[in-house]
Amino acid sequence: MPKIRLVDVTNRDGEQTARIVLSKLQKTIINILLDQMGVFGSELGFPLSPHEWNYLNSNVELKKLENDDGKPVIKNLRLEGWSRAVAGDVEQALTNTNLTHLNLSISTSQQMLEWKFRGKFSRDDIISMMVDAVRAALEGGCTSVGINAEDASRTDMEFLKDFGLAGKEAGAQILRYCDTLGYDDPCTIAGRMGELAREVQMPLETHCHNDLGLAVANSVAGAVAVCDEGQDAYINTTVNGVGERAGNADLVSCILALRHSSGLADKDYLDRNIDTTKAYRLAQYVSRSFGLPIPINQVGVGENAFAHESGIHADGALKDRHNYELYAFEDLGRGHEVLSKTGREILTGQHGGTAGLEYVYSHMDIAFRDAEHAREILKLVQYANLINQQPLTEEELRFIYDYPEIARKLLTLTP
């Protein structure tokens, strides 16, 4: 049976959103949390950018580095880089990083050809550039290559088919259908992606923006149409729906739609490795890292997602949660009490010392070998706090303690 797998793009498309930014440490923690949740892949950054090199290579290293249980720190998450479909860019990206999965993007619509490229490239040129980039990626050691048709929703269907077939023949394994402006609706994207899957005979990936509020619906409709044609499908998501302009398809919303909506639950297309009990922790971490509060009505993880005040609703929910809830809050990893200190609080950060550091770590049941070990971790904590510009979380503090050499690389932005 064909499957739908999730490739989260929070660390690439989400992080390139105007006015917000993540540190390399924060991006790494997000990858670890995505892996723990069972997400298939993370498009984690730009291998052509020098400030990304240490981060990208460190995350690849984490797939080989074992934790205390003898398992890789990042066990199954496929780490994918994004590049323009330009052979020279691909060659440079692979020279400076150890990535083996690349997604190669180029604009395909007539609008973009005329008004972005200013008529410099014909459709034949677009296909030729993409094919050369795919070959460069495979010759450079990539084990998988995806081709991205930017503005696919406004691209002529016959050209999209030619684009996909040429990429497939060159060795690409996935065709990404980018609804770059959120132009599609569930009916059009299902029809177009179903036709592409049928004609091109290769796995397709949705990449939907939320300009019209349809990113989740479009992503799900497109992916299901691909599976209905017998091909595997991939959905690009971001945590909490963050992304350029109005955002991207929200990770949790896509999962819940595929699992609980009336027409899709029985299809069983969604990858079964997804563990939604990790969703709330991930959403909270991303919210804090970006400095973007989770909307009160956010699907699954918002403050009001399981709140009932109306007398009729409260009565019904108390009798049987199925009266007013499609899924249980426990399924999202919710239900625990959140405690906040009202008295003395000791923190550690860029101005901290060893006494405060040892106090903070002792409350996490972590001790230091000796004074030198404490000073080593303190220096990393100071720099991490300086770069993050906010108090460090327990996830970040544990990571620095467990993997100080990797943390040092993440805090070094000059290769």
Nearest to 173 by CA among 198, 142, 202: 202
Per-residue model confidence (pLDDT) at position 289: 98
Please report how the helices 123-139 and 87-96 are oriented relative to each other, as an axis angle in degrees rounded to 10.
20
Beta strands in 156-203 (DSSP E): 174-179
Per-residue model confidence (pLDDT) at position 361: 98
Per-residue model confidence (pLDDT) at position 182: 98
Per-residue model confidence (pLDDT) at position 415: 61
pTM for this entry = 0.97
Burial class of residue 198 in the structure, from the number of CB atoms within 10 Å of its CB (0-12 exposed, 13-18 middle, 19+ buried): middle
Measured CA to CA, the distance from residue 73 to residue 75 in angstroms comes to: 6
Per-residue model confidence (pLDDT) at position 340: 86
Per-residue model confidence (pLDDT) at position 69: 82
CB 108 within 8 A of CB 158: no
Per-residue model confidence (pLDDT) at position 66: 86
CB 289 within 8 A of CB 22: yes
Helix (H) or strand (E) holding 34: helix 24-37
Regions of the chain where pLDDT drops below 50: none
For the chain, the maximum distance between any two Cα atoms, rounded to a whole number of angstroms, is: 68
